[in-house]
Chain A
Amino acid sequence: MTAQLDGRPPLSGGGQYPDVIEPAELDAGEGLTTEEPIPYDVHAIRADFPILERTTPDGLPLVYLDSANTSQKPRCVVEAIEDHYLSHNANVARAMHLLGAEATAAFESSRAVLAEFVGAASSDEIVFTKNASEALNLCAHTLGASLRPGDEIVVSVMEHHSNIVPWQLLAERTGATLRWFDVTDEGRLDVAGGLAAGLLNERTKIVSIAHVSNVLGTVNPVAEVAAAAHAYGARVVVDASQSVPQMPTDVAALGADLVAFTGHKMVGPTGIGVLWGRYDLLAELPPFLGGGEMIETVRMTGSTFAPPPHRFEAGTPPIAQAVGLAAAARYLSALGMDQVAAHEHLITAYALEGLSTVKGLRVLGPTTATDRGGAIAFTLQNHDGEQIHPHDVSQLLDARGVAVRGGHHCARPLHERFGVQSSTRASSYLYTTTAEIDVLVDALNRTVGFFSRPPRESARRAR
C-alpha cells in the first residue's frame, strides 16, 4: 500500500534539501503496514499504553475519557522519539554530517508516512506545523492575503476557537466579513439552512469547517459543503483534528483544498501539527512565518522562498515530534483505521446508551452513534432540576478516577447556541473499554446523588 505519486521531479530552488523521500523508497517496515489487520483486541492494545495501568492516589484504576483533548501515547511512539534523540539527533537540511543526514532522512520520511496516512498525492503536500491551531492560522494568513472589504469568510457555530479566532483576526485585518453556518437543535450542521439563506455566494472566498465537532461529536458533510463552496470559487479548509485520529482519512475524498490536524490527538506527541494542501494551491500561496529553512535566497534587498512544503516551515522544525508522529501513524495503520473507527463507533453507542440512563443528563448533539465521533458532551442536573456545574462534575468524577473535561471545550459560541454556559465531555478512543463506560455512568449517578443531598440548616453567617 503506497500513496499515489504523481512522479513530479524534485523541485528546483530547494537545492540544499535532499530529495523528498516518497513512501515507495522507504525500507520495508518503515512505511505503513501492508499486512491484513489483526482482530481488534482492546486489552492487548491497552498493554501498549503503560499510562493506562496507572491508579489514583486512592488506588482506583484510572479511567481516561479525555482523548478528544489529548490522546495517550503507545510505547512505540515514545521509543521512536527516544531513539531519535539518543542515536540520530541533529538539525535537519543543513548539517553536512552523518547525524545530519540521518535526522534529515528521518524527518522527511516521516513526512512521507503522514502523506500516505491521509492519502496525499505527494509528500510535498504535507506541511509540519506546531499544532492544528498554527496550521489554521497559516491558512488564514496565506489564503487571506488577497482578501478585500466585501469578501466573505464562512465558518460554523460549532467550530473550535482555533477555527474561529484566526478568521476573525483575518476579517479585522482585511475588512472582510465573517459569516457562519448554524447547527440544528439535534447538533447537525445546518447546511440546507445556510445554503437557503445564501450563506455561500459569489462574495465567499474561504469556507473553513470542522470535519468532526469536538463537542457534539457530529461528523459534518464536508464534501457537500466543499462542493457548494467550490461552485462559487471559494477555497475550502477543513479542521480534521477530531476526525483524523478516529477514522480513515482520504484528503481527496474530503473535497477540501487544505486540511489541518494535530499529532497529539492521534497517539502522537505534542508540538506537531499537519497541514495538507493541494500542491498547486500551496505553490500559489505566499509564505507564512519568515526565517531559516523557508527561503531560497536571502539578500538584504529581498528574498525568494523555497517551494512547498518548506516554504511554510520557518526555523528548526519539530524533528523528533515528526519522527514520533510517523510512529503514531504506523501504529494506527497497523491497527487499521477501519477497525479503530469501528471500535470508536461501538464505544460511542454503548456510552450514549449508558448516559441515557443517568437521570438529569442531557447530551449536547446527536444521541445516536450515526455519523458521530467519540466526543460526548452533556449537562447534568441534580434531583431538584438544578444544573450541576461541569467543574463540580469533573471534580467528583476525578475522585472516582474518571478523567473527563469540564468547561466550554474551546467552543463557547456553540455552548451559547445551546443555551448553556459549559458542559462536561467524555471522549473515548481506541483503548477505551465498555467497562470504563460503566465506571463513568456509575460515577455520574453518584455525582447526582452528592449534589442532591438535602441542605442543612442555613450557613453560619446567614443574614
Chain B
Amino acid sequence: MNVEDMYQEIILDHYRAKHHSGLREPYEAEVHHVNPSCGDEVTLRLHLDGDTVADVSYEGQGCSISQASTSVMSDLVIGRRVSDGLDLHEEFLALMQSQGRTEPDEDRLEDGIAFAGVAKFPARVKCALLGWSAFKDAALRTTAEQDQTEGAA
C-alpha cells in the first residue's frame, strides 16, 4: 500500500484549488455534515432548476481527501439531473467500498476515479464520502419538500 496510490496529483490539485467552493444564494436545501471521529465538517447548499442541479456550493474544514472529493463531486453533479447525481453517488460509494478491487468507470466518475486508491485505506473512506453524503442528504430533502408541495397542491 503506497501512500502515493492515495494522494494522486488530481486529488492534490482539487485540494489546492477547490471548484465551486463558498456558500452561494439561492438554494433550496442547506445541510451540515460532520465526521465525528475527526471533526471534519462541511456545510453544503443545493440549488435546483426544476429537476436539474443548478448549483452546489459549500464551505468546509477537512483533510485533502474530504476537500478534494467535495470539489470533484460538485464538478460532477452540477448540470445533471438530481436522479443522475444520486446515481453517481451510488457509483462513487461502490468504488469506495470496493477495497480497491473494482475498476472505476472514468466516463462516469471523471476525476472521481482518482479516489480509487483511497478505498485501500479504510480509515479514509469516510473522508472521501463526506461531501457526497451531504449532497445526497440535500438532494433527498429538496425532493421530499417538492413531493410535499406537490402533495399539498
Which residues of A pack against B, CB within 8 Å? 57, 389-392, 395-396, 398-399, 406-408, 412, 415, 421-422, 450-451, 453, 455-456, 458-463
CA distance A456 to B61 in the complex (A): 23
Contact among A391, A408, A415 for B65, CB-based, below 8 A:
A391
Whether the Cβ atoms of B19 and A395 lie closer than 8 Å is no
CA distance A460 to B107 in the complex (A): 13
CA distance A390 to B66 in the complex (A): 12
Q: Known: A395-B124, A408-B38. Contact between A389 and B63, CB under 8 A?
A: yes
Contact among B16, B40, B75, B124 for A463, CB-based, below 8 A:
B75
Is B10 an interface residue when CB atoms closer than 8 A count as contact?
A: yes
Whether the Cβ atoms of A389 and B16 lie closer than 8 Å is no
Whether the Cβ atoms of B111 and A407 lie closer than 8 Å is no
Q: How many residues of B contact A (CB 8 A)?
A: 28
- Quote the shortest CB–CB distance from A402 to chain B (angstroms): 12
Is B1 an interface residue when CB atoms closer than 8 A count as contact?
A: yes
Q: Known: A389-B63, A460-B10. Contact between A407 and B38, CB under 8 A?
A: yes
Is B54 an interface residue when CB atoms closer than 8 A count as contact?
A: no
Whether the Cβ atoms of B6 and A395 lie closer than 8 Å is yes
Which residues of B pack against A, CB within 8 Å? 1-3, 6-7, 9-10, 12-14, 16-17, 19, 37-40, 61-65, 75, 110-111, 121, 124, 127
Q: In the complex, what residues of A have CB within 8 A of residue B10's CB?
A: 459-460
Q: Known: A450-B7, A459-B13, A460-B110. Contact between A392 and B64, CB under 8 A?
A: yes
- Quote the shortest CB–CB distance from B92 to chain A (angstroms): 15
CA distance A399 to B44 in the complex (A): 32
Contact among A391, A399, A415 for B63, CB-based, below 8 A:
A391
Q: Known: A395-B124, A459-B17. Contact between A389 and B3, CB under 8 A?
A: no
Whether the Cβ atoms of A391 and B38 lie closer than 8 Å is yes
Q: In the complex, what residues of A have CB within 8 A of residue B7's CB?
A: 392, 395, 450
Q: In the complex, what residues of A have CB within 8 A of residue B17's CB?
A: 455, 458-459, 462
- Quote the shortest CB–CB distance from B81 to chain A (angstroms): 18
Whether the Cβ atoms of A453 and B121 lie closer than 8 Å is no
Whether the Cβ atoms of A406 and B38 lie closer than 8 Å is yes
Q: In the complex, what residues of A have CB within 8 A of residue B111's CB?
A: 459-461
Q: In the complex, what residues of B have CB within 8 A of residue A462's CB?
A: 17, 19
Q: In the complex, what residues of B have CB within 8 A of residue A458's CB?
A: 13, 17
- Quote the shortest CB–CB distance from B36 to chain A (angstroms): 10
Whether the Cβ atoms of B3 and A391 lie closer than 8 Å is no
Whether the Cβ atoms of A391 and B75 lie closer than 8 Å is no
Whether the Cβ atoms of A421 and B1 lie closer than 8 Å is no
CA distance A170 to B62 in the complex (A): 32
CA distance A456 to B12 in the complex (A): 9
- Quote the shortest CB–CB distance from B67 to chain A (angstroms): 8
CA distance A406 to B6 in the complex (A): 17
Whether the Cβ atoms of B38 and A459 lie closer than 8 Å is no
Q: In the complex, what residues of B have CB within 8 A of residue A415's CB?
A: 39
Whether the Cβ atoms of A407 and B37 lie closer than 8 Å is yes
Subset of 30 A-B contacts with CB under 8 Å: A57-B1, A390-B38, A391-B63, A392-B7, A395-B6, A395-B121, A399-B2, A399-B3, A406-B38, A407-B37, A407-B39, A408-B38, A412-B39, A415-B39, A421-B61, A450-B7, A451-B12, A453-B12, A455-B13, A455-B16, A455-B17, A459-B14, A459-B17, A459-B19, A459-B111, A460-B110, A461-B75, A461-B111, A462-B17, A463-B19
Q: In the complex, what residues of B have CB within 8 A of residue A456's CB?
A: 9, 13
Q: Please indicate which of the listed interface residues B3, B7, B17 has the most CB atoms of chain A within 10 Å of its own CB.
A: B3
Enumerate the 5 nearest inter-chain pairs by beta-carbon distance, A residue then B residue, closest first.
Answer: A399-B3, A391-B63, A389-B63, A407-B38, A459-B13
Whether the Cβ atoms of B37 and A389 lie closer than 8 Å is no
CA distance A407 to B1 in the complex (A): 23
Q: A389-B62, A453-B12 are in contact. List 16 more A-B contacts (CB 8 A).
A: A389-B63, A390-B38, A390-B63, A391-B38, A391-B40, A391-B65, A392-B64, A395-B124, A406-B38, A421-B40, A422-B38, A422-B39, A451-B64, A455-B17, A461-B111, A462-B17
| A397 (CB) vs chain B CBs: closest residue | B3
Whether the Cβ atoms of A391 and B127 lie closer than 8 Å is yes
| B3 (CB) vs chain A CBs: closest residue | A399
CA distance A463 to B79 in the complex (A): 12
Q: In the complex, what residues of B have CB within 8 A of residue A406's CB?
A: 38
Q: Known: A391-B127, A455-B13. Contact between A461 and B39, CB under 8 A?
A: no
- Quote the shortest CB–CB distance from A132 to chain B (angstroms): 19
CA distance A455 to B37 in the complex (A): 30
Q: In the complex, what residues of A have CB within 8 A of residue B124's CB?
A: 391, 395
Q: In the complex, what residues of B have CB within 8 A of residue A57's CB?
A: 1
Contact among A395, A459, A463 for B3, CB-based, below 8 A:
A395
CA distance A54 to B13 in the complex (A): 35
| B1 (CB) vs chain A CBs: closest residue | A57
| B76 (CB) vs chain A CBs: closest residue | A461
CA distance A412 to B40 in the complex (A): 11
CA distance A168 to B40 in the complex (A): 23
Q: Known: A389-B64, A453-B12. Contact between A461 and B110, CB under 8 A?
A: yes
- Quote the shortest CB–CB distance from A221 to chain B (angstroms): 29
Whether the Cβ atoms of B39 and A408 lie closer than 8 Å is yes
CA distance A461 to B40 in the complex (A): 25
CA distance A389 to B40 in the complex (A): 10
CA distance A408 to B62 in the complex (A): 12
- Quote the shortest CB–CB distance from B21 to chain A (angstroms): 13
CA distance A26 to B102 in the complex (A): 61
